[in-house]
Amino acid sequence: MTLLVGDVTSQCRLRVWFEGFDPLDYRADSAVAHEFAMAAHTVGAVVTIDEEVSDDLRPLPCERLWHS
């Protein structure tokens, strides 16, 4: 699997793909997004991070778990 990470601001969009499922979009702080992406990559997920943030994006579930 591939981990793709672009330039991000303090808030960013995460797009998460697990094989065989539709992608899921979330918003999170940049630092949290990067921590989550690294962990998700270890279980085979593909995560992209970008600046396409909008108010209608759901927050990343359990975001506080990904603070380093």
- What global pTM score does this model have? 0.79
Dig out the tokens for 57 from the structure. 């994006």
State which amino acid sits at residue 2: T
**pLDDT tens by residue, the chain, 68 residues:** 445 555 444 899 999 999 999 999 999 999 999 999 999 999 999 999 999 999 999 999 988 877 76
57 burial via Cβ count (<10 Å: 0-12, 13-18, 19+): middle
